[in-house]
Structure 1
Amino acid sequence: MNEKIKTICIKYLMYDADIEELEILENWLKKSKNKQLFANYLKINYAMDININPFDTEKSINDFLESIRNEQRNSKKLRLMRVFRYAAAAIVIGIFATAYFFNDDLFGKSNEDIPKITNQDIILPGTDRATLTLEDGSQIVLQKGKSIQTDNANSNGETLIYEARSSITDEIVYHDLNIPRGGQYYVELSDGTKVWLNSETHLKYPTSFIKGKSREVQLVYGEAYFEVSPSTEHNGSKFKVHSPSQEVEVYGTEFNIKAYKDESVTYTTLVGGKVGVNVNGVKQNLVPSQQLSYDTGTEQVKVSVVDVYSEISWKDGIFSFEDKSLQDIMKVLSRWYDMEVVFENEKIKNEEFFGLLRKDQKIEKIIATIKEYGIIKDYEFKDKILMIK
């Protein structure tokens, strides 16, 4: 399956494919070998969602027929053909999804007997929450349902927005935003730069920037997605992101930095535009879809082309795992669900798993599905600890 078809498949699964893309998918599915590839891809990449939210084939067919009736009444033949092709593609996908995700020979029993977490420490998906530390050291807890306002910022509980203003002095006032395990947050800086912060992340930044000087922030640790307001809108002022092992110079762009305390490798992924990454005095420019990884232990720098969607989907409520080991996947899940993961069987840490996970799913169902693939033999939840056997 080529990258273009993979991209269309992902967009279809995320309800984001347009008519032209679905036409491409439909034509590609006309070959029997492609149908098998497509079904296998669905099985691998969408099993978790489909187990929880079964595809309603009958409803899709009824919707399709209703679309035809409406178009016939309106006598718009051209649109009818396009609706027909869209609906046909949806029905084909529905048939394959149903056949492959509810076949007992492939999956055994469905998740009917998923073990419940019976102790007092219930493991829940993460939510929008953070702690804001002001310049005087005082702290404000940000969370859903709680609005706050400071001198030049306000929060509705889910976002933190700073007013657009320029300092008239040379003194910079800093705020710190700490995202705990089981949290995420969105902040818009005073220059209009947008930042999405993942679980267990600490960002330090000025409450306003000095006109004519570089705009600089510090990703102390964690993961953040930046959509930077371009320098052309700020009298040429550059934007820089400092992290423990590198400096990223930005030219008005979108990129992701992953620099966790418990991981030796820092990853910088460019989505669009251009950035320069400075590591140990050596600068490397990146182009879109490139990722620079820096291993602090070996001091090795590597630039490679990656699947950008898999790297940044976390900010849109999706975990996309491709070529990831079970150990790496569990690190991500442990941060989001604020739990500890213990491998009783060390041999399975490097087993690879492919899949898309919605971040609002219950952890019990996710682990039960992984078990159905035969990657793990058994598991147990106890006091916010997941023991994998």
Structure 2
Amino acid sequence: MEFKLIIKKINNTLTKEEEIIFNNWFNESKIHQDYFLKVKNNYQKNIDSVNKDAAWMAVNKKIVSKKKNNKWKYAIAASVALIISASYYYFSSTYNISKKNTTVAQQKIKIGTDKATLTLEDGSFVALEKGKTYNSENIQSNGEKLVYYSSKKETQPKIVYNYLTVPRGGQFFVELSDNTKVWLNSESQLKYPVTFIPGEPRKVELIYGEAYFDVSPSTEHKGAKFNVLTQEQEIEVLGTAFNVKAYRDETSIYTTLVEGKVSLIVGDEKQFLKPGQQSTFNSESNTIKLATVDTYNETSWKEGVFSFNNMPLKKIMKVLSRWYRIDVTFINNEVEHVKFNGVLRKDQQLEDILSVINSTTEINYTINEKTIIIK
């Protein structure tokens, strides 16, 4: 069940359908009932201190400014979610919840930022980060994004490749020469041609990590399809928006279709995805499973948001470890399966995020330099 339904229940704004969903969840176990009461008590204790009117004005401003963009609905969803998480964060940090269970390092752990390394065709490296610019014949970077331009030469372009590598604690945006837009998450690497050959398939490779693709339609490129290679899987695209997660330390590749149409090719098997579906390819069993998912939860990272929807603590800490460049150790393995619901900003200090999680799960943790120890 989504965390926002708990907030709506507290405010008596549930629809009839949502009331049924909430009641089913609430009556499932005493754990759910205790969880709800804890959130309700904390929320009612401090919600008056949150300037909700100002927050909603900010949301409305985003709606007006983004209506011309077909991605505006994601910005709105993120803004609404942030009101909930901001309210939630306020009472957890104001009352210093469970500080007796934590030991915070004197030096704060750094928040992730825009940064990457560009590897050129001759093997040389270019560091991309805020405050540094890079320009060449058909490449420009202001340190926060990288943009490629189509070659103006009349001769047939030669296929040469660049690599964009994003480290732990980083993220980066690149616009390819065909106007395809790619957001790369922490600990990711993308291989792509500097210029695509007109009419021929446009192929890139997500060597590892996570990327969100907004693909330029094939109709604008003489019908040329767009293909994304990921380890043992190939994604064939006509023009669409989708997310691919293929980390080296995970045995599964997750492909989530936001809009349009893609097909997955694994060996001789071909599987089509519909918008709102996610495929999970398990490299050990060589199988593909399809499921309907909330695409916002899968793609919110590129909007600067962590969306944890009933996610086990082990998976949450893996996400946080990549963004904050930390290591995580679980002393008690049972705690790995404790689940958390919440939407949090990626520009928050790690200590603040841990406090929010701690306020509902009551986990005990310590911070030893760049290692989080969960007991």
Return the TM-score normalized by structure 2: 0.77
What is the RMSD of the two structures over their aligned residues, measured on CA atoms? Answer: 3.7
| Alignment deviations for residues 77-129 of structure 1 (CA, whole Å, 9 cap, x no partner) | xxxxxxxxxxxxx9xx99xx9799859xxx9854777643225xx41110000
Partner of residue 82, structure 1 = none
Deviation at 1:57, TM superposition (A): 5.5
Deviation at 1:366, TM superposition (A): 1.4
Partner of residue 148, structure 2 = 162
The one of 374, 383, 386 aligned to 2:361: 374
Q: Is the aligned partner of 1:187 residue 2:174?
A: yes
Partner of residue 72, structure 1 = none
Partners of 1:115 and 1:364 within 8 A in 2: no
Secondary structure of the 2:337 match is: coil
Deviation at 1:29, TM superposition (A): 4.6
The one of 202, 207, 216 aligned to 1:220: 207
The one of 270, 288, 294 aligned to 2:257: 270
- Equivalent residue runs for 1:84-163 within 5 Å: 102=91, 110=97, 115-118=103-106, 122-163=108-149
Partners of 1:166 and 1:208 within 8 A in 2: no
Q: Residues 146, 324 of structure 1: CA spacing in aligned structure 2 closer, same or farther, 3 A cutoff?
A: same
Give 2:235's aligned amino acid. V
Structure 1: 5+ residue stretches without partners: 14-21, 65-89
Partner of residue 72, structure 2 = none
Give 1:382's aligned amino acid. N
Structure 2: 5+ residue stretches without partners: 27-31, 57-79
| Alignment deviations for residues 287-329 of structure 1 (CA, whole Å, 9 cap, x no partner) | 1000010111121210110011100000000111113211111
* Higher mean C-alpha deviation, range 54-63 or range 243-252: 54-63
Q: Residues 98, 147 of structure 1: CA spacing in aligned structure 2 closer, same or farther, 3 A cutoff?
A: closer
- Equivalent residue runs for 1:1-389 within 5 Å: 28-29=13-14, 34=19, 55=47, 102=91, 110=97, 115-118=103-106, 122-165=108-151, 168-169=155-156, 171-376=158-363, 378-389=364-375
The 2-side partners of 1:195 and 1:374 are apart by 35
Larger Rg: 1
Q: Residues 58, 250 of structure 1: CA spacing in aligned structure 2 closer, same or farther, 3 A cutoff?
A: closer
Partners of 2:89 and 2:356 within 8 A in 1: no
Deviation at 1:381, TM superposition (A): 1.1
**Whose relative contact order is higher, 1 or 2, with alpha carbons under 8 Å and at least 6 apart?**
2
Q: Indicate the percent of aligned positions where both proteins have the same amino acid.
A: 46
Secondary structure of the 1:212 match is: coil
The 2-side partners of 1:187 and 1:63 are apart by 31
Return the TM-score normalized by structure 1: 0.75
Give 1:307's aligned amino acid. D
Partners of 1:239 and 1:251 within 8 A in 2: yes
Secondary structure of the 2:162 match is: strand
The 2-side partners of 1:287 and 1:156 are apart by 36
Deviation at 1:348, TM superposition (A): 1.1
| Alignment deviations for residues 121-180 of structure 1 (CA, whole Å, 9 cap, x no partner) | x41110000000000000000001111112211001100011133773363011000000
Partners of 1:334 and 1:340 within 8 A in 2: yes
Q: Residues 112, 151 of structure 1: CA spacing in aligned structure 2 closer, same or farther, 3 A cutoff?
A: same
Partner of residue 85, structure 1 = none
Deviation at 1:58, TM superposition (A): 7.9
The 1-side partners of 2:343 and 2:116 are apart by 26
The 1-side partners of 2:123 and 2:135 are apart by 16
Give 1:388's aligned amino acid. I
The 2-side partners of 1:234 and 1:388 are apart by 51
